[in-house]
């Protein structure tokens, strides 16, 4: 026989209304009481009856997680970390529905307050602004991850990509590198713009020139990393190092270097961004910037639950710090 809210209420010594409110993260219930009730529910393997709750409370108990796109510029690791972070917070309180904004082709009429109690947008491009504006105008609780939506007064959760890129390039400079190229992320993505900005700021800070040929377009994937490095290796004046705006770009770049008969980092140093799961297991292990997409997803989900519970948007920007992870793909040429 399945466990009910009344069973939990009996063990907790509270009313079934208190249990219901606690499991729905109501601000009317103290945090200590919520934690105790959730612990009891978990010990009993309680599973909420979403259909019954939906009828009683006139809510869908669906949270939408919308990516700008899934087919283009969204790596498997990025997708997995985002979903994992969101699910860690939502647990059994809501059904999570994942979709891609570009699949709607601008027809958003099925996205309503009756379909979703709240929406998270993992925004990778300004192209999704029309969707964000649509959800905002509909009054559906909304939190945007990965970029700022100013001037819309929303909660934004993003990593400090600019500072992270600056740290990576300054690390290269500290190791004696002066001819530093960049393989950029996907055009139009705010993360790619922020990382390039960090690169340029670091170079300018140290009075280093950035030839146009050292600024190579990429697409956050292996192939464009390979192509980008191949174009750099064809130059008369080779860079001594390359900052890749994503780890998959860095892997593609490494392959191009090896195929040319050169070595990483002895002949050319490579730094990446993201600290994907495979980065520590490359040969050489990749020096990169760690940004926790999972943490961003968790924080965004927590913020969305607050918005849903209070039925109010509290506009703010939360920046999640990045961290430089030094491994073996950058050589020290100061003594050369």
Architecture of domain 161-291: 3-Layer(aba) Sandwich (3.40)
Q: What is the pLDDT of residue 309?
A: 81
Extents of the domains making up the chain: 5-47, 57-158+292-320, 161-291
Mean pLDDT of successive 10-residue segments in the chain (336 residues)? 80 86 78 88 74 49 88 76 93 86 87 90 87 93 90 92 97 97 91 96 97 95 97 96 97 98 97 93 97 94 89 81 97 82
Q: What is the pLDDT of residue 79?
A: 86
Q: What is the pLDDT of residue 49?
A: 60
Could you please state the CATH topology (level 3) that the domain comprising 5-47 is classified under: 434 Repressor (Amino-terminal Domain) (1.10.260)
Q: Would 5-47 and 57-158+292-320 be classified into the same CATH topology?
A: no
**Helix/strand/coil (H/E/C) assignment for every residue in the chain:** CCCCHHHHHHHHCCCHHHHHHHHCCCCCCCHHHHHHHHHHHHHCCCCCCHHHHHHHHCCCCEEEEEECCCCCCCCHHHHHHHHHHHHHHHCCCCEEEEEEHHHHCCCCCCCCCCCCCEEEEECCCHHHHHHHHHHHHHCCCEEEECCCCCCCCCEEEEECHHHHHHHHHHHHHHCCCCCEEEEEEECCCHHHHHHHHHHHHHHHHCCCCCCHHHEEEECCCHHHHHHHHHHHHCCCCCCCEEEECCHHHHHHHHHHHHHCCCCCCCCCEEECCECCCCHHHCCCCCEEEECCHHHHHHHHHHHHHHHHHHCCCCCEEEEECCEEECCCCCCCCCCC
Q: What is the pLDDT of residue 55?
A: 38
Architecture of domain 57-158+292-320: 3-Layer(aba) Sandwich (3.40)
């Amino acid at each position: 026989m399945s466990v009910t809210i009344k069973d939990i209420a009996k063990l907790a010594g509270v009313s079934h209304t208190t249990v219901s409110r606690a499991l729905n993260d109501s601000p009317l219930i103290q945090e200590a009481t919520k934690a105790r009730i959730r612990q009891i529910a978990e010990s009993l393997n309680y599973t909420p009856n979403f259909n019954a709750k939906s009828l009683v409370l006139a809510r869908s108990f669906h949270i939408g997680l919308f990516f700008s796109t899934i087919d283009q510029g969204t790596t498997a690791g990025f997708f997995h970390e985002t979903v994992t972070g969101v699910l860690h917070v939502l647990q059994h309180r809501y059904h999570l529905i994942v979709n891609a904004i570009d699949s709607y082709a601008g027809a958003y009429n099925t996205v309503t307050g009756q379909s979703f109690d709240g929406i998270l947008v993992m925004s990778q491009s300004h192209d999704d602004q029309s969707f964000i504006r649509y959800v905002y105008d509909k009054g559906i609780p909304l939190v945007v991850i990965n970029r700022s939506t100013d001037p819309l007064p929303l909660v934004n959760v993003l990593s400090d990509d600019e500072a992270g890129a600056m740290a990576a390039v300054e690390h290269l400079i500290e190791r004696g590198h002066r001819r530093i190229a960049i393989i950029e992320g996907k055009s139009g993505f705010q993360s790619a713009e922020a990382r390039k900005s960090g690169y340029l700021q670091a170079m300018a800070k140290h009075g280093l020139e950035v030839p146009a040929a050292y600024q190579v377009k990429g697409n956050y994937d292996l192939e464009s990393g390979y192509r980008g490095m191949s174009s750099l290796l064809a130059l008369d004046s080779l860079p001594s190092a390359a900052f890749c705006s994503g780890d998959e770009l860095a892997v593609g770049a490494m392959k191009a270097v090896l195929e040319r008969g050169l070595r990483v980092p002895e002949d050319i140093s490579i730094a990446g961004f993201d600290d994907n799961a495979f980065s520590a297991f490359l040969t050489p292990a990749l020096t990169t910037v760690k940004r926790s997409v999972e943490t961003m997803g968790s924080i965004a989900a927590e913020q969305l639950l607050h918005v849903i519970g209070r039925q109010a948007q509290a506009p703010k920007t939360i920046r999640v710090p990045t961290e430089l992870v030094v491994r073996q793909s950058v050589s020290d040429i100061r003594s050369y």
